[in-house]
Amino acid sequence: MTRAASGPRPAGMRDLVRAAHIGPALAVVLLATLLAVADDLTPGRVLLVALAVLAGQLSVGWCNDLVDEARDRAVGRADKPLATGRLPRRTVLVGCVLAVVTVVVLSFACGWWAGTVHLACVASAWAYNLGVKSTVWSWAPYAFSFGGLVAFVSLAGSPPQWPPWWLVAAGALLGVAAHLLNVLPDLADDSRTGVRGLPHRLGARLIPRIAAVVLLLATGLLVLGVGLGHRASLVGLAGACLLTLGLTLGVVLGRGRLPFVSAVLIALTDVLLLLLAT
């Protein structure tokens, strides 16, 4: 006997997780966790920071798919469970609301200043979803949120401390590069649906080159900020520079998601350099 053809499978947890853009979300959580370790936060506080960032990222991802549902459907995005009808809109709405409540509670559990900064980062990412991404200022929320993430982690310590300017600036530069490369595979679809952010104005040819320069500037700032007077820093400098240069080739020459993945790996390399120097 042959099995009768079945209709679309009902939405499950996997679809809900996919709608949250879980890959980039986990990358940001890992960066925040490594920063917390580099800042010598207690294990309990490291976990609290990681959970707060995860809740914020889930809210941003679900917000993005809710806002872009019509656009994703118009261009036939089969990788978007909400746009294909596999995932009910109500389910994503409920998940998004719960994530917002959770991120508020967990952020302020890290301290009032830390909580305020982190919620400002999440609000900035929401602003990107709600319209800034279609403007020439599309890079600004990424710069603010990534730079602010560095400040949030540092302020979550005991006592809370504002991080050095070069660390915040490096975080902001990494955010700009992430924005450029994250949009790169979707340029054609975005253009069809009226999205005209900074990457769309630069074009596919310039984006990887500009992103590579921005990433190298971020690494350079970290190297100068850490200082060349420590032996560990010198060892880390050599390794970080070699690895960063190799990954930069992935940014410039890669196709599909490889440039974005290479940028994430460069960011991880930079944070590991901080860990080595502490």
What pLDDT is stored for residue 160 in this prediction? 93
| pLDDT (mean) for 26-35 | 94
For the stretch 101-130, pLDDT in tens is 999 999 999 999 999 999 999 999 999 999
Same domain, 104 and 184: no
Residue the block writes with tokens 């979803």: 129
Indicate whether 232 pLDDT > 90. no
For the stretch 34-67, pLDDT in tens is 999 989 999 999 999 999 999 999 999 999 999 9
What pLDDT is stored for residue 7 in this prediction? 41
| pLDDT (mean) for 62-79 | 91
For the stretch 128-142, pLDDT in tens is 999 999 999 999 999
**Within a domain: residue 139?**
no
Same domain, 129 and 168: no
Same domain, 16 and 130: yes
What pLDDT is stored for residue 79 in this prediction? 85
User: Phi/psi of residue 242, each to 5°?
Assistant: -65, -45
For the stretch 130-179, pLDDT in tens is 999 999 999 999 999 999 999 999 999 989 999 999 999 999 999 999 99
- Per the structure, the complete domain to which residue 71 belongs is given by 12-134
**Within a domain: residue 40?**
yes
**End-to-end CA, the chain:** 66
Which has the higher per-residue pLDDT, 255 or 5?
A: 255
Residue the block writes with tokens 């994503």: 92
**Within a domain: residue 258?**
yes
Same domain, 130 and 211: no
- In whole angstroms, give the CA distance from residue 88 to residue 91: 5
Task: State how many domains the chain has.
Answer: 2
pLDDT band, very low/low/confident/very high, at 255 (cuts 50, 70, 90): confident
Return the CATH number at 48: 1.10.357
What pLDDT is stored for residue 5 in this prediction? 40
Same domain, 93 and 168: no
For CA atoms 261, 263, 265, 267, the dihedral sign is negative
Indicate whether 9 pLDDT > 70. no
Same domain, 120 and 200: no
Same domain, 215 and 115: no
- In whole angstroms, give the CA distance from residue 126 to residue 129: 5
| 70-to-58, 190, 231 alpha-carbon distances in Å | 20, 12, 54
**Within a domain: residue 149?**
no
**Within a domain: residue 26?**
yes
**Within a domain: residue 4?**
no
For the stretch 214-224, pLDDT in tens is 988 888 888 88
Q: Show the tokens assigned to 100.
A: 């917002």
**Within a domain: residue 25?**
yes
Return the CATH number at 227: 1.20.120.1780
Which pTM value belongs to this model? 0.88
- Give whichever of 36-50, 73-87, 182-196, 211-225 has the largest mean pLDDT: 36-50
What pLDDT is stored for residue 262 in this prediction? 80
Say how many C-beta atoms besides its own lie within 10 A of residue 97's C-beta.
12
Which has the higher per-residue pLDDT, 241 or 183?
A: 183
